[in-house]
């Protein structure tokens, strides 16, 4: 287990790339925001929030154990009503899922099983496509553009009568890119007349572009659009497996028949509390922004190209084969992102706690500077 002394050693002699020890969290902040402890292997590979669940969420979950003998249906309906009010849709448009991954998977098989086509950019988050392929869906990959973002013009040209879904992860995982708002809205307006558009907005909360639109607005206009959201990222609840879909009622009903997990009473009650915990929400965003800036500073120092990120990770040009770089980092006690073909010389690194970022910086400098 890494200690505070290990972190201080990692902070020495890195040319101002890191925070000073005086900026460590106070005991009160640690109790309130629950930063994860340093582990022998620091996992910066899965885009998890290094904080949370918050103290308020943990207390709510503990209280909800009194209801753990109950099935989650009524509790799920209550959360759906809260989310419907939050997004300005009817409760019939909300589907509570076991993490947003369940929503992606069941949507894929609902509309594209047995030969239906799904179009998406490459690379992107694969949960929908990998699962649907097992059920007979066909996949049509469109490479990302020079900016590592979705090429919406090329995607739209691929839409045909056999296309059942277009999958967008926006901001995109693993590249961290954001589709320009005007291009997104124009694409959605035209493409949704030809097929169903699925917008994975797992990282939407991290977007720093003012007034950037969610495609929930397209759902409210009655367009053929499905949006997924999650409590895994900004709310720090990845291990509790709770997310949701937003779609017009007729699409939502089609998907609902294939839901399996739904989530559980404890996660549902935690999610209700998370929605009201504005202190933790703001803290998560502030800490993520700070960690990204630390990583940017390091990459600038090493003269490594990166994609400005709208997420809680950074995609950078490692100039080394990720299949070799990964084991090098693992020897230093850090797990980085997996390969994302065809970009084998690029690396995705998740933001972490201050201590974790310090040790990542130390490992990077040792690998790249000797």
Residue 288's nearest CA partner among 200, 354, 240 is 354
pLDDT digit string, tens, across residues 101-131:
999 999 999 999 999 999 999 999 999 999 9
Nearest 5°: the CA angle 228, 261, 166 is 30
What's 4-54+278-369's CATH class? alpha beta
pLDDT digit string, tens, across residues 269-315:
999 999 999 999 999 999 999 999 999 999 999 999 999 999 999 99
Percent of the chain's residues with pLDDT above 70: 94
Distances (CA, A) of 243 to 73, 230, 317, 368: 15, 4, 32, 39
Residue ranges per domain, the chain? 4-54+278-369, 56-274
Query: What does the pLDDT read at residue 1?
Result: 44
Question: Which of the four pLDDT bands, split at 50, 70 and 90, describes residue 17?
Answer: low
Spatial neighbors of 149 by CB under 8 A, at least 6 apart, are: 121, 172, 175, 177, 178, 179
For residues 72 and 169, give the distance between their C-alpha atoms in angstroms, rounded to a whole number.
29
For residues 259 and 337, give the distance between their C-alpha atoms in angstroms, rounded to a whole number.
29
Residue that the structure tokens 């017009």 belong to: 248
For residues 253 and 226, give the distance between their C-alpha atoms in angstroms, rounded to a whole number.
12
* Token pair belonging to 144: 């990302």
Query: What does the pLDDT read at residue 370?
Result: 82
pLDDT digit string, tens, across residues 142-154:
999 999 999 999 9
Question: Which of the four pLDDT bands, split at 50, 70 and 90, describes residue 11?
Answer: low
260 pLDDT more than 90: no
Contacts 24+ apart (CB under 8 A), 23-30: 23/354, 24/354, 24/355, 25/354, 29/283
For residues 278 and 273, give the distance between their C-alpha atoms in angstroms, rounded to a whole number.
10
Please name every residue paired with 334 in a beta bridge, in sequence order, or none if there are none.
42
pLDDT digit string, tens, across residues 40-55:
999 999 999 999 999 9
Nearest 5°: the CA angle 242, 246, 251 is 120
pLDDT digit string, tens, across residues 66-79:
999 999 999 999 99
Q: What is the mean pLDDT of the chain?
A: 94
Query: What does the pLDDT read at residue 261?
Result: 78
In the chain, which residue ranges form alpha helices assigned H by DSSP?
Answer: 4-11, 27-33, 55-64, 73-87, 99-112, 127-134, 152-158, 181-191, 216-220, 249-256, 265-274, 278-302, 322-331, 354-369
Q: Kindly report the number of other CB atoms within 10 A of residue 233's CB atom.
A: 25
321 pLDDT more than 90: yes
Percent of the chain's residues with pLDDT above 90: 92
> Residue 249 CA to chain centroid, in angstroms?
25
Helices and strands counted in the chain (H then E): 14, 12
Peptide bond into 53 cis (omega under 30): yes
Collapsing DSSP states into helix, strand and coil, what is residue 90?
coil
* Token pair belonging to 312: 């809680």
Confirm or reject CATH 3.40.640.10 for domain 56-274, answering yes or no.
Answer: yes
12 pLDDT more than 50: no
Query: What does the pLDDT read at residue 19?
Result: 53
* Token pair belonging to 236: 């720090």
Spatial neighbors of 229 by CB under 8 A, at least 6 apart, are: 100, 201, 202, 204, 243, 244, 245, 246
Determine the average pLDDT of the residues in 195-202.
98
Residue 234's nearest CA partner among 339, 310, 334, 299 is 310
Pairing outcome for strands 163-169 and 346-350 = unpaired
23 pLDDT more than 70: no
């Amino acid at each position: 287990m890494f200690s505070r002394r290990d972190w201080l050693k990692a902070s020495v002699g890195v040319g101002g790339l890191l925070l000073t020890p005086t900026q460590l969290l106070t005991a009160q902040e640690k109790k309130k925001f629950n930063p994860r402890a340093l582990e022998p292997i620091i996992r910066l590979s899965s885009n998890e929030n290094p904080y949370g669940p918050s103290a308020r969420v943990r207390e709510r979950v503990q209280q909800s154990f009194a209801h753990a003998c109950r099935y989650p249906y009524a509790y799920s309906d209550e959360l759906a009503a809260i989310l419907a009010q939050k997004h300005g849709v009817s409760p019939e448009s909300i589907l509570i899922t076991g993490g947003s991954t369940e929503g992606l998977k069941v949507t894929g098989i609902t509309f594209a099983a047995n030969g239906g086509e799904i179009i998406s950019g490459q690379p992107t988050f694969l949960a929908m496509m990998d699962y649907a392929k097992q059920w007979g869906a066909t996949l049509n990959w469109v490479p990302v553009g020079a900016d590592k973002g979705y090429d919406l013009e090329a995607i739209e040209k691929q839409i045909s009568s056999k296309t059942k879904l277009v999958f967008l992860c926006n901001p995109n995982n693993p590249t961290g890119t954001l589709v320009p708002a005007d291009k997104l809205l124009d694409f959605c307006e035209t493409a949704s007349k030809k097929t169903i558009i699925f917008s994975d907005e797992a990282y939407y909360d991290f977007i720093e572009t003012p007034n950037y639109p969610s495609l929930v607005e397209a759902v409210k206009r009655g367009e053929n659009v499905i949006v997924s959201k999650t409590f895994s990222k900004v709310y720090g609840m990845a291990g509790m497996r709770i997310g949701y879909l937003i779609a017009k009622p007729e699409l939502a009903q089609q998907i609902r028949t294939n839901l399996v997990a739904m989530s559980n009473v404890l996660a549902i009650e935690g999610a209700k509390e998370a929605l009201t915990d504005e202190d933790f929400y703001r803290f998560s965003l502030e800490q993520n922004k700070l960690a990204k800036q630390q990583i940017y500073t390091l990459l600038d120092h090493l003269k490594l190209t990166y994609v400005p990120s709208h997420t809680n990770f950074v995609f950078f040009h490692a100039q080394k084969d990720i299949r070799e770089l990964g084991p090098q980092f693992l020897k230093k006690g850090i797990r980085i992102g997996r390969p994302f073909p065809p970009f084998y010389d690029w690396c995705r690194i998740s933001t972490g706690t201050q201590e974790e970022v310090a040790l990542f910086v130390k490992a990077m400098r040792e690998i790249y500077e000797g």
